[in-house]
Amino acid sequence: MPQSRVVGISGNITRPSKTRAFVDHIVHRLAVDAGASAQTFDIEDFGASLLPARRLDELAPEARYVVGQIVAADILVVGSPTFKGSYTGLFKHVFDLLDPASLRGKPIILSATGGGERHSLMVEHQMRPLFGFFEALAMPTAIYACDKDFADGALISEAIHARVGRAIEEATQALARPGKARLAA
């Protein structure tokens, strides 16, 4: 049986990035729990060819490689900072270029980070373009973490760890049921 593949994509280009740390954390735990290979990309990995592209063949080779990894993934983890709507728009553009059938049935975990608890109310609004797209394909799970959930770039909140654990359990169970991946939002 071929090894499963977990692919994470982070929408934040600042360094260090809570969003990237959160995506990396989820991807690593998924890889361990599912016995899968793992890889994480940033939105900047798509390069300058992303914005003007209207079709996949208009992307530069490095961007087509990232898209190929997204399509080949068995589980997808997408992370966006809630206060930067432009990144969410870039994600939507990436996924608009894809044939929806290429992602149908994949377990998907949407993760978001923000400055404070008040941002948790913005998650649904901020990620709605992505959530609506993915909801039609696989009913994604969404997880939010704020500043107080991190210390020195590491996730420290037990509540968030528990949510991540539930999302990972749902994703690995869905992976075990090919063609029937339906995750609770």
CA distance 108 to 138: 7
Over residues 89-105, the mean pLDDT reads: 78
Q: Is 9 helix (H, G, I), strand (E, B) or coil?
A: strand
Q: Closest by alpha carbon to 129, among 77, 94, 171, 99?
A: 94
Residue with tokens 């080779």: 61
Task: List strands edge to edge, sheet with 141-146.
Answer: 37-42, 5-10, 75-81, 108-114, 141-146
Q: Closest by alpha carbon to 130, among 166, 73, 90?
A: 90
In the predicted model, is pLDDT for residue 83 greater than 60?
no
What pLDDT, in 10s, does the model give residues 125-146? 666 666 666 666 666 677 778 7
What pLDDT, in 10s, does the model give residues 38-69? 999 988 788 777 878 888 889 889 989 998 99
Domains and CATH numbers, the chain: 5-176 (3.40.50.360)
The two beta strands, 75-81 and 5-10, are parallel
Residues with Cβ within 8 Å of 173's Cβ and at least 6 positions away in sequence, in order, are none
- What pLDDT does 26 receive? 92
